[in-house]
Amino acid sequence: MNNIITIIKKELARFFGDRRLVFTTIIMPGLLIYLMYSLMGEGMMKQMTTPKDYVSKIYAYNMPAEMKDLFAPVKAEWTTWDGNASDKDRVLKEIADGEMDLLVCFPDNFLETVQTYQNSDGSAPQVELYYSSEKSNSLTAYNQINAMLDAWEEQMTNKFDVNRAEGRFGDYDQASETGMIGKLLSGLLPMLIMTFIFSGCSGVAPESIAGEKERGTIATLLVTPVKRSALALGKVISLSIIALMAGVSSFIGTILSLPKMMGDEVDINIVSYDMSDYLLLFAVIISTVFVIVSIISIISANSKSVKEATTMMAPFMIAIMLVSILPMLGVDVGGKAAYAIPLFNSVKTMSGIFGFSTNLPMAIMTIGVNVVATCVLVVVLTKMFDSENVMFGK
């Protein structure tokens, strides 16, 4: 046990003794993720949405006076256009350039034609809406006016309503806002967490093993009286601590940036998880870190340099990404049997926790399977440390 602690202290001292390494591995990922996601979210929201106090600029051609009341809820400045053909190109160019948002054209005698129209009479009178879908303000104005015209059209031939008012049993939509946000987070966060864990592990494990092989310092460790099993376990535990800290930094950065990334429409604060959920999530993450660090350590031990180890990790990274994205796609593969597969079980369990559908027995099974997998991988790493062919390339 003392030898394992000695190895852990050595690895942690080597890591924390390099301030630049600490900054780039632990502090910088969370900081960059927060800044990137926040700026990206704000930029996307500005491009896709219209400010609530924005007043649309709309041209109206031949609009009946009675229709003004229909469009009263829309915040807009209406400008009458006489439909002069020589002026058409100017009006359309203003819409394309974003100077105006919409042109609404009504046919002659619109209301009279609508009231007397029968389906057998041929083509129905048409209202034309000219807009620019690349301009968010123009698209918003189009959607508002189009929705009001559709609603008004339905009222003209209304025979019955669907969900027009409060139902006799309450709200029609039985989904809670908490449940909907939980579903969103259950697809997004497992992928992000697995990505952060892998990034943290891949940033420190190759340097600790493949790096020492490349520099030739691994030989000094191997000739000491420390058992190879203690050396392997000490490496795995110390690297897991560093990788976990890097993952936590990235996770905090993501959580802080989520409100800005999702926009003001989504209230993340209404999502409330129990302390048991956090403890279970923490246990799953720790067991996952151990598995990933063990696998990367084996890859590093089988590599002659950090560059080679990084290259060999690429297929493993792709596999983790594919597994992590399944909850976001709504794909449930394997059922309960999937909880017996390391890492895949972690994704399923984390998705259940974030989606308020935790299966406690399966979560415990996930942790147990990951612990057993780690023990097996540590034994494999120990055998690799015992092999001169592997450690010295003989």
pLDDT in tens, the chain (394 residues): 677 888 888 878 877 887 887 887 778 777 877 787 677 656 555 555 566 778 899 999 988 888 888 888 888 899 998 888 888 889 999 999 889 999 999 888 888 888 777 765 566 788 899 998 888 888 888 999 988 888 888 776 654 555 555 555 555 555 555 666 777 778 878 888 888 888 878 877 888 888 888 877 777 777 777 787 888 888 888 888 888 887 777 777 767 776 665 555 455 554 567 788 888 988 898 899 889 988 998 998 888 888 888 888 889 989 988 888 887 776 676 678 889 999 999 999 988 888 888 889 999 999 999 999 999 998 898 888 887 777 766 5
CA atoms of 366 and 293, how far apart (whole Å): 17
102 phi and psi angles, rounded to 5 deg: -160, 150
Q: Do the domain assignments include residue 170?
A: no
Instruction: Tell whether 41 and 60 lie within a shared domain.
Output: no
Q: Do the domain assignments include residue 50?
A: no
Give me the sign of the Cα torsion angle 290, 291, 292, 293. positive
CA atoms of 126 and 106, how far apart (whole Å): 7
Using the 3D structure, point to which of 103, 126, 156 is the last residue of a domain. 156
> Are 97 and 131 within 8 A, CB to CB?
no
Instruction: Tell whether 116 and 203 lie within a shared domain.
Output: no
Instruction: Tell whether 132 and 235 lie within a shared domain.
Output: no
Q: How many CB atoms lie within 10 A of CB 322?
A: 10
| 3-state SS assignment for residue 359 | coil
User: What's the whole-model pTM score?
Assistant: 0.64
Instruction: Tell whether 37 and 61 lie within a shared domain.
Output: no
Instruction: Tell whether 288 and 380 lie within a shared domain.
Output: yes
Tokens read off for 155: 């009222």
Q: Do the domain assignments include residue 162?
A: no
125 phi and psi angles, rounded to 5 deg: -60, 140
- Let me know how long the chain is: 394
* 3-state SS, one letter per residue, for 262-321: HCCCCCHHHCCCCHHHHHHHHHHHHHHHHHHHHHHHHHHHCCCCHHHHHHHCHHHHHHHH
Instruction: Tell whether 278 and 244 lie within a shared domain.
Output: yes
Tokens read off for 12: 């942690």
Tell me which residue of 324, 297, 185, 254 sits closest to 29, measured CA to CA: 254
Instruction: Tell whether 37 and 62 lie within a shared domain.
Output: no
Q: Are strands 76-80 and 102-105 parallel, antiparallel or unpaired?
A: unpaired
Instruction: Tell whether 81 and 184 lie within a shared domain.
Output: no
H or E element, residue 105: strand 102-105
pLDDT, residue 165, reads 59
Q: Do the domain assignments include residue 10?
A: yes
pLDDT, residue 180, reads 67
Instruction: Tell whether 273 and 342 lie within a shared domain.
Output: yes
Residue 64: give the domain boundaries.
56-156
Tokens read off for 107: 């046919």
pLDDT, residue 342, reads 92
Q: How far is CA 318 from the centre of its chain?
A: 17
Instruction: Tell whether 275 and 350 lie within a shared domain.
Output: yes
Tokens read off for 258: 């989520």
CA atoms of 286 and 370, how far apart (whole Å): 9
Tokens read off for 216: 């030739």
Q: What domain count does the chain have?
A: 2
Please tell me what DSSP assigns to residue 104.
E
Q: Do the domain assignments include residue 169?
A: no
pLDDT, residue 365, reads 94
Instruction: Tell whether 182 and 329 lie within a shared domain.
Output: yes
CATH number of the domain to which 63 belongs: 3.40.1710.10
CA atoms of 247 and 200, how far apart (whole Å): 6
Q: Do the domain assignments include residue 141?
A: yes
CA atoms of 29 and 21, how far apart (whole Å): 12
Q: Do the domain assignments include residue 165?
A: no
Using the 3D structure, point to which of 156, 185, 219 is the last residue of a domain. 156
**Which string of DSSP letters, residue by residue, matches 43-88?**
HHHHHH---TT--EEEEEES--GGGGTTTTTS-EEEEE----GGGH
Instruction: Tell whether 249 and 388 lie within a shared domain.
Output: yes
Q: Do the domain assignments include residue 86?
A: yes
Helices (H), the chain: 2-16, 19-22, 28-48, 88-97, 110-116, 136-156, 177-215, 218-222, 228-262, 275-301, 306-312, 314-329, 344-354, 360-386, 388-392
